[in-house]
């Protein structure tokens, strides 16, 4: 499901248009995603939240934003708050930048794929992650007709 369709679904869930059912998936929290990415890049979560802009931290933060957008149902402002009180537009820019970096650089695409695999392992373990009250988006709500996903 593409990002636009997921956002439409999030809004409909939040406004009660789609009924809330039993939890169908376990989403990792943004904090867990930040911990996984920081371990990969040799940083601490505290270092990722600092406002320094060296390349290593910026890439790690951007990848964290991209993964949080993909694997959680958190909004951009919520993701930004966890990542050191950043604005939602910063998170939007990070998501778009990682998309373009993955298209240009196979090394980054490979790293993101490995992080995705690690997050999926964590999300299957019932003792980790938060159980959202929302329904599983990919199964219970079809994408819009104009969507190609």
Q: What is the pLDDT of residues 100-140, one digit of tens each?
A: 999 999 999 999 999 999 998 877 755 544 444 343 343 43
CATH number assigned to the domain comprising residue 44: 1.10.1750.10
Whether 80 is in a domain gets the answer yes
Q: What is the tally of structural domains in the chain?
A: 1
Whether 149 is in a domain gets the answer no
Whether 148 is in a domain gets the answer no
pTM: 0.70
**Rounded to 5 degrees, what are φ and ψ at 27?**
-95, 135
Whether 108 is in a domain gets the answer yes
Whether 144 is in a domain gets the answer no
Q: Which domain holds residue 111?
A: 3-139
Q: How far apart, in Å, are the Cα atoms of 56 and each of 9, 35, 39, 94, 116?
A: 34, 15, 12, 14, 19
Residue 3 pLDDT exceeds 70: no
Whether 45 is in a domain gets the answer yes
Whether 146 is in a domain gets the answer no
């Amino acid at each position: 499901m593409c990002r636009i369709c997921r956002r439409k679904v999030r809004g409909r869930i939040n406004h009660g248009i789609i009924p809330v059912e039993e939890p169908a998936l376990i989403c990792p929290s943004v904090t867990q995603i930040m911990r996984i990415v920081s371990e990969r890049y040799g940083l601490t979560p505290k270092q990722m939240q600092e406002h320094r802009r060296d390349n290593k931290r910026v890439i790690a933060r951007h990848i964290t934003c991209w993964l949080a957008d993909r694997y959680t149902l958190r909004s951009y402002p919520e993701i930004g708050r966890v990542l050191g009180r950043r604005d939602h537009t910063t998170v939007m820019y990070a998501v778009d930048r990682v998309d373009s970096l993955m298209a240009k650089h196979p090394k980054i695409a490979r790293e993101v794929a490995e992080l995705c695999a690690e997050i999926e392992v964590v999300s299957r373990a019932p003792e980790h992650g938060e159980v959202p009250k929302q329904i599983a988006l990919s199964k219970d709500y079809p994408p819009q007709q104009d969507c190609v996903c």
